[in-house]
Structure 1
Amino acid sequence: MSTSDAQHSADLNAQTVSAIAHLARLSLNDTQSAEYAQSLNKILGMMESLKEINTDGVEPLKSPFDNPQPLRVDEVSESNHREEYQAVAPAVEAGLYLVPRVIE
Structure 2
Amino acid sequence: MDDTPNEDEGTLPPNLQFLRQLVTVLTATMIIGVLVIIALIVIRFWGDKPFTLPDQIVLPAGASISAFTKGDGWYAVVTGDQQILIFDAKSGELLQSTQVVLGD
Q: Name which one, 1 or 2, has greater alpha-carbon Rg.
A: 2
> Structure 2-normalised TM-score?
0.28
Question: Larger relative contact order (C-alpha < 8 A, sep ≥ 6)?
Answer: 1
> Structure 1-normalised TM-score?
0.28
The structure with the greater share of residues assigned to strand is 2
The structure with the greater share of residues assigned to helix is 1
